Homo-oligomer: A and B are copies of this chain.
Amino acid sequence: MMADREHSHEVHAAAVAAQSARIAMLSASADQKNRVLTAMAKLLEENVREILLANRQDMTRARNHSASLATLRRLELTPNNINSRIRALQELKSLPDPVGNVFYSGETEAGLIVEKVSVPIGVILVIFEARPHVSVNGPAVGLKAGNCTILRGGSEAANTNGCLVTLWRKALDLGGLPSDAVQLLGGDHKTVEEALHLSEMIQLVIPRGGRALMDTVAVHAKMPVLHHEAGNCHQYVDANANLDKAMRVLLDSKLTMPAVCNAMESLLVHRDLLPWCAELVNELASHGVEVRGCGVLKALVPNVVLANDDDWKTEYLREIVSIKVVGSVCEAIEHINTYGSHHTDGIITEDQATRQAFIDRVESAVVLCNASTMYCDGSLLGFGPEIGISTSRLHARGPVGTKDLTTYKIVVRGNGHTMCSEVTT
């Protein structure tokens, strides 16, 4: 009971502190925000040793708690990782300010001047597991758009997250912005539930993690959610594909980083390419990939595992791929729309009409033609560093960059305009 009250107090205090920071951020200049990003990049550089030390403590504790290899991999920071974060901060700094853009302007029949102007969203709660780099990217992408970030990281990365947030608060101070614009929330799962109820003070929640986290958010969140759900990503190799390109793109989509959400998990191949399929399976196997195939493929290559319905739905996140032979681009599209997660899906073909049908009818956030699924990345697509890949259908889809963390305001300028001439003084 006592502990409950303490958590409740902590969550509320963080949200209240974020309110005054939020108001101050409304008048933060592009210059001030960039100064904070520069300061943070410098602080990361100067404190590499401290960050790695905090991370090593987390790693040791995680090992003592018998954490899985996957968790340990996500948890670990290297000097190289920190350099990537520094580069992301520099890239963000170089992007145009996403706030204050007049992206619609018009004059109405009555002579009113109407504008839509981009403004910050407000306070953003980022809930994440393990990966401590979110403690750099999250606040950075949010801050550039004038938002405040409340981070709630997994307890396994508590030391690393604590260290990084301390640096953020110093950087904000150095840039002349309120340090409460970045906060770290402790506590247990109760803390998360309580935070998810504060829709008056927290305008958006971005969850990044597994099924259990998504379910908690679905049940408790009273504010809008930018979902980052599973990426069951497909490539479809059409009858008119260039097979050399296809082989390169498929291997790249599967093998570059098998554990990330935009890795290819399922592969659809046109039946005209059946003879080529044996070659494909061999190539994948020679790179250590386990192939689970449909009946047609199994008949051709008996040593593949027969895929079941679950395989078509599964995000393996490791060196396994499901392969299905299909009769047409229509069948491929239907399969992807049915079994996919609307994340990132691609087609490999030289035929323009087929390509266009695929683009028009696959209902995914990102649709690729003749390119590796690895390209679903904010920086690589030209949107700048991302806070994650949204599988929401509204607001932001695909890589969520700083521009996606704005909303807008409609500004109407008149000169004593009234609607109803009958209401007179």
Contact of A415 among B114, B370, B407 (CB under 8 A): B370
Stretch at the interface among A37-45, A131-139, A297-305, A394-402: A394-402
Residues of the B chain whose Cβ atoms lie less than 8 Å from the Cβ of A114? 381-382
Identical copies in the complex: 2
Contact of A410 among B244, B366, B374 (CB under 8 A): B366
Is A143 in the interface zone, CB < 8 Å from B? Answer: no
Contact assessment for B224 and A382 in the assembled complex, using a CB-CB cutoff below 8 Å: no
Give the CA-CA distance A242 to B414 in the complex, in Å.
Answer: 13
What's the minimum C-beta distance from A386 to chain B, rounded to whole angstroms? Answer: 12
Contact assessment for A410 and B367 in the assembled complex, using a CB-CB cutoff below 8 Å: yes
Contact assessment for A371 and B245 in the assembled complex, using a CB-CB cutoff below 8 Å: no
Contact assessment for A367 and B412 in the assembled complex, using a CB-CB cutoff below 8 Å: yes
Give the CA-CA distance A225 to B367 in the complex, in Å.
Answer: 26
Stretch at the interface among A149-157, A181-189, A249-257: A249-257
Contact assessment for B249 and A417 in the assembled complex, using a CB-CB cutoff below 8 Å: yes
Contact assessment for B224 and A224 in the assembled complex, using a CB-CB cutoff below 8 Å: yes
Give the CA-CA distance A242 to B417 in the complex, in Å.
Answer: 12
What's the minimum C-beta distance from A402 to chain B, rounded to whole angstroms? Answer: 15
Stretch at the interface among A5-13, A46-54, A266-274, A357-365: A357-365
Q: Which residue of B lies closest to A222 (CB)?
A: B218
Is A190 in the interface zone, CB < 8 Å from B? Answer: no
Contact assessment for A393 and B204 in the assembled complex, using a CB-CB cutoff below 8 Å: yes
Give the CA-CA distance A344 to B380 in the complex, in Å.
Answer: 39
Residues of the B chain whose Cβ atoms lie less than 8 Å from the Cβ of A337? 23
Residues of the B chain whose Cβ atoms lie less than 8 Å from the Cβ of A423? 248, 251-252, 255-256, 287
Contact assessment for B370 and A411 in the assembled complex, using a CB-CB cutoff below 8 Å: no
Q: Which residue of B lies closest to A362 (CB)?
A: B409
Stretch at the interface among A74-82, A87-95, A104-112, A320-328: A104-112
Known: A114-B382, A381-B108. A248 touches B414 (CB 8 A): no
Contact assessment for A112 and B371 in the assembled complex, using a CB-CB cutoff below 8 Å: yes
> In residues 316-371 of chain A, which contact B (Cβ within 8 Å)?
337, 359-361, 363-371
Q: Which residue of B lies closest to A247 (CB)?
A: B425
Give the CA-CA distance A413 to B411 in the complex, in Å.
Answer: 37
Residues of the B chain whose Cβ atoms lie less than 8 Å from the Cβ of A368? 412, 414
Residues of the B chain whose Cβ atoms lie less than 8 Å from the Cβ of A381? 108, 112, 114, 410, 412
Give the CA-CA distance A106 to B26 in the complex, in Å.
Answer: 30
What's the minimum C-beta distance from A309 to chain B, rounded to whole angstroms? Answer: 16
What's the minimum C-beta distance from A355 to chain B, rounded to whole angstroms? Answer: 8
> In residues 94-130 of chain A, which contact B (Cβ within 8 Å)?
106, 108, 110, 112, 114, 119, 121-122
* Most chain B CB neighbours (cut-off 10 Å) among A110, A244, A361, A410: A410
What's the minimum C-beta distance from A407 to chain B, rounded to whole angstroms? Answer: 5
Contact assessment for A382 and B106 in the assembled complex, using a CB-CB cutoff below 8 Å: yes
Q: Which residue of B lies closest to A396 (CB)?
A: B394
Give the CA-CA distance A423 to B286 in the complex, in Å.
Answer: 12
Is A70 in the interface zone, CB < 8 Å from B? Answer: no
What's the minimum C-beta distance from A344 to chain B, rounded to whole angstroms? Answer: 9
New A-B pairs, 6, CB < 8 Å, besides A224-B394, A370-B416, A376-B412: A122-B363, A248-B418, A248-B425, A367-B410, A367-B412, A369-B412
Q: What would be 6 A-B contacts, judged by CB atoms less than 8 Å apart? A: A108-B382, A224-B393, A224-B394, A251-B418, A374-B418, A394-B394
